[in-house]
Amino acid sequence: MAATRTFSIIKPDATRRNLTGAVTKMLEEAGLRVVASKRIRMSRQQAEGFYAVHKERPFFEDLVAFMISGPVVVQVLEGEDAVARNRKVMGATNPANADEGTIRKAYAESIEANSVHGSDSEENAATEIAFFFKPDEIVG
């Protein structure tokens, strides 16, 4: 199977606790390669745009406030079946339901401050990658 790409964010709860390397190590050990990475402070406009699919959800305002509360690390990950591979190593949205060996089981603080984002489909991965990266910033 050919390598594919997905989009990841190391969220503010993880950057605050200096877990960028620890999270990235788990991604790499799961067979994913970081082919683009930058540490940014998201603007409110970016966070609202990125999470627009959730704007009717009751937690939307809190989620946006959380995502702009500190730096994040946006990454493009490459690997075999990258979207599913990343979702597997991330673990369930709510860390209380996350399997052993997953990033959220190891590091998430709560259902909101759950350390990582990962695209949920190939189509959304392409959209999310283009939201934060120019093609020449991705080096496979």
Please tell me which residue in 46, 83, 117, 118 is annotated as part of the active site.
117
**7 in a known ligand binding site:** no
**41 in a known ligand binding site:** no
- Is 117 catalytic? The answer is yes
- Of 120 and 122, which has the nearer Cβ to Mg ion? 120
- Of 65 and 137, which has the nearer Cβ to ligand IDP? 65
CA–CA distance, 37 with 42 (Å, rounded to integer): 14
**11 in a known ligand binding site:** yes
- HSE-up (13 A, CA, CB side) for residue 72: 25
Task: Name the DSSP letter for residue 99.
Answer: P
CA–CA distance, 49 with 51 (Å, rounded to integer): 6
Instruction: Find the shortest distance in angstroms from Cβ 130 to ligand IDP.
Output: 18
Q: Which does 34 bind (CB under 5 to 8 A by kind): ligand IDP, Mg ion, none?
A: none
Binding site for ligand IDP (CB under 6 A): 54, 59, 63, 93, 111-112, 114, 117, 120
Burial class (CB in 10 A: 0-12, 13-18, 19+), 7: buried
Task: Kindly state the helix (H) or strand (E) to which residue 3 belongs, with its residue range.
Answer: strand 3-10
Q: Which does 114 bind (CB under 5 to 8 A by kind): Mg ion, ligand IDP, none?
A: ligand IDP
The answer to whether 67 touches 37, Cβ cutoff 8 Å, is: no
Residue set of the binding site: 11, 59, 87, 93, 104, 114
Q: Which residues are catalytic?
A: 117
Residues annotated as binding site for ATP?
Answer: 11, 59, 87, 93, 104, 114
